[in-house]
Amino acid sequence: VYRPVMQLSGMLASLLGWVLSCLTTYLPQWKNLNLELNELEIWTMGLWQACVVQEEGGMQCKDFDSFLALPPELRISRILMVFSNGSGLLGLLLSGFGMDCLKIGERQQEQKKRLLLFGGMLFWTSGITAIVPVSWVAHSTVQEFWDENIPDIVPRWDFGEALFVGWLAGFCLILGGSLLNCTICSTEVHPSSVHYAMAEQQDQCQHL
């Protein structure tokens, strides 16, 4: 009874994590910069573009001209996040075909278990590769914020909303992969075997 529920819960958690991971990749709010001289403007920086949010004019964004001109943490974060999205999508496809509720390949239980195992491992990989770049950017932001060599009057970057979304995405992906792999270790009890066991037990009681 609990095995299909765990599989469905793992798939839903993984799907949520994958959607959040894709959202984190394209959100421009990886870093926020508030200007004390002009509080009506908020600068944000993401993996693909930088934006300025004005109280009257809305949001204006500009794509980065060169990949090589980006800071190292943003360059590697872009690669890792794209890899995380790809591995998460592949994990969803493999795990979907390995679920017990899917009647396709119902007689090939060993292959379905392998698909679930590979899907769960891909979710782990996707979750880790989503947490690493987000944590790296957060670490570099903290180092720059407390750098004593930078004068106090210079504005400093702060955490953006995308970092928290990325941490949540990685947690959901790892949780989903763990739930799916836990179902591989459990044995599924079919109704026919249950009826057979009950009938055998009744026969033993009658002989007694």
User: What's phi and psi for 72, nearest 5 deg?
Assistant: -55, -40
The predicted-structure confidence for 17-59, as pLDDT tens digits, reads as follows 999 999 999 999 899 887 665 667 788 888 999 888 877 767 8
182 neighbors 9 (Cβ within 8 angstroms): no
CA 194 – CA 31 distance, rounded (Å): 57
Which residues fall within 8 angstroms of residue 190, CB to CB, at 6 or more apart?
none
The domains located in the chain, with CATH, are 1-28+70-188 (1.20.140.150)
| Separate counts of helices (H) and strands (E) for the chain | 5, 5
131 HSE (CA, 13 A, CB side)? 14
Residues found in the chain: 208
Q: Is the pLDDT of residue 149 over 70?
A: yes
Q: What share of the chain has pLDDT > 90, as a percent?
A: 36
Q: Is the pLDDT of residue 189 over 90?
A: no
CA neighbor of 180 nearest in space, from 89, 69, 99: 99
Can you give the pTM of this predicted structure?
A: 0.80
CA 150 – CA 55 distance, rounded (Å): 28
In this prediction, residues 129-158 reach a mean pLDDT of 84
